[in-house]
Structure 1
Amino acid sequence: METQIPEEVLIAQITQLHANISKLESLNPSKQVNALFTHLVNLCTLPSSIINIQALPQEVKNMRESLINLCGQAEGLLELQFSSFLAQIPKPLNNLNLFPYYGNYVKLANLENRILRGNGVVHPNKVAFVGSGPMPLTSLIMATHHMVSTHFDNFDIDEKANEAARRIVATDLELEKRMKFETRNVMEVKERLGQYDCIFLAALVGMNREAKVKVLGHLSKYMKEGGFLLVRSANGARAFLYPVVEEHDLGNFEVLTIFHPTNDVINSVVLLRKPMVV
């Protein structure tokens, strides 16, 4: 049995790391930045008693929100750097494993695919990924390993991220035909959401509870009846890295599965379905 780290020790160490990360002049990838975030991820995936985020003191909640924002910025910069690097080498799609967290994404995609298949989503025709970023690893892994005939529409609000992602995908003509990137805020995409059999919602779309609930409500309104929504969340200490989606935030969706990993996968997986109107 692995020994659990006491909650107060864990929070003290995370608070110290937050202070160190906040002092950095830049969050661009560097030895120091990478070391701090690697330490943080390792801390947050240690076996610990389940931390109740709602019960934390207000200053810890504020620190957590700040930390999630810093993690999001650093992740975006790391992805952008890697995406630009990959675009300059031959066959970038054969070298995705150079990305430091690639193995983590493979495990997460395998897990999500297993959950989808277990709920009858086997060969979806059209899938949307909301918040795909400059390294759309989930879409790439799904499209090449699990959903090999599916069309993917990737939405991100950052044109620079989409340009970087397009450059990588353009090196594979077959994949380029079924993978598109659009610079849109998903809140502006309406009737079109009814085309998708399944929509993935990235963990960093909706950085706090209010924003997340708004996005979920919007998707619920425009998705097709019987359509699936895969939402990434976080549990326990992993909630210091990513926003948490609570069951009471899920509105009218039918909850099919909530899975909390205990290995080095960070994100919890919540699979929802929009009910059929009788």
Structure 2
Amino acid sequence: MASFQNFNFDTQIIPSEILVSQIMQLHASISKLESLRPSKQVNSLFTNLVKLCILPSSIEIESLPQDVKIARESLIELCGRAEGLMELEFSTFICHTPNPMKNLILFPYYGNYVKLANMENKILKDNGVAHPKKVAFVGSGPLPLTSIIMATHHMESTHFDNFDIDEKANEVARKIVASDSCLEKRMKFETHDIMDVKERLREYDCIFLAALVGMSREAKLKILGHIRKYMKEGGFLLARSAKGARAFLYPIVEEHDMVNFEVLTIFHPTNDVINSVVLLRKPIA
């Protein structure tokens, strides 16, 4: 079996065939799990998967064999379900602590969200989005860390509307934010499929689109098209994507998918932040 023992991860790009082989083995193990709820085994498998996917590699998703592409789609779905269950478990626990907002750091990937929010805020500022009045976050989930970090560290006067399709997720998220009366005034949670939200999208200066909203390429394109149709002219859309091996964890938004948008920035991190960031603007007619 191929192994990594002869590679220096800091300086060498891992050969694609070795990395794909290891990822496929993990996919086989994850597929056999009876439950994706957090447990020692589940946590170990997904931690190993993330570690593999952030290694430097030259993987091009489009050139992979068809069976690997099918396994990748399955893996994205499994990752999405596991991530949702992990967030729900931690958010439920956190909202029962004496000071939920101060206990967000208990979430294992909290530091990654801080780095991602810092990165996204810099990209927005560099493109003239410093103090938006109103922001929407689509796919906020039970632990809306990006919105909370943005609202408390970067956009201290911005109003945030968080949209999620799952009322249970919104219910827990509301309880966490309710522990901070100032933040609660600026942050709302609404249960909607974003495809049903139309004219309201014109209210927002900037819309964030979570990576797992639209897990297939077809679904992602429909959502991008819908948001573009209804968002205001000159408004910004920040969509999360993935590149290389990281695309085994999250869907990709390709530049040619961004029809009728002005593409301002596409940024691919090389540290332990997994998501790429794509900043778009709807042109003014």
TM-score band by shorter chain is: over 0.9
What TM-score does the superposition give when structure 2 sets the normalisation length?
A: 0.96
Q: 1:2 & 1:28 partners in 2: Cα distance?
A: 35
Q: Is 1:230 matched up with 2:227?
A: no
Q: 1:138 & 1:158 partners in 2: Cα distance?
A: 18
- Number of aligned positions between the proteins: 276
Q: Is 1:177 matched up with 2:185?
A: yes
Q: Is 1:242 matched up with 2:250?
A: yes
1:54-203 superposed matches below 5 A: 54-203=62-211
Deviation at 1:55, TM superposition (A): 1.3
Q: 1:3 & 1:273 partners in 2: Cα distance?
A: 37
Unmatched 5+ stretches in structure 2: 1-9
Q: Is 1:272 matched up with 2:280?
A: yes
Q: 1:203 & 1:29 partners in 2: Cα distance?
A: 21
1:42-57 superposed matches below 5 A: 42-49=51-58, 51-57=59-65
1:32 is matched with 41
CA deviations over 1:4-62 (Å, ceiling 9, x no partner) = 2110000000000000001111000001100100000000001112x111111110000
Deviating beyond 2 angstroms after TM superposition, the runs of 4 or more aligned structure 1 residues are none
Q: 2:60 & 2:95 partners in 1: Cα distance?
A: 42
CA deviations over 1:142-161 (Å, ceiling 9, x no partner) = 00000001000000000110
Amino acid at match of 1:219: I
Q: 1:171 & 1:7 partners in 2: Cα distance?
A: 47
C-alpha RMSD of matched pairs (Å) = 0.6
Amino acid at match of 1:229: L
Amino acid at match of 2:132: P
Q: 1:56 & 1:238 partners in 2: Cα distance?
A: 14
Unmatched 5+ stretches in structure 1: none
1:19 is matched with 28
Aligned residue for 1:12, secondary structure, equals helix
Amino acid at match of 1:254: E
Q: Kindly, what percent of the aligned residue pairs are identical? A: 76
Aligned residue for 1:251, secondary structure, equals coil
Q: 2:37 & 2:227 partners in 1: Cα distance?
A: 33
Q: 1:4 & 1:235 partners in 2: Cα distance?
A: 15
CA deviations over 1:117-139 (Å, ceiling 9, x no partner) = 00000110000000000000000
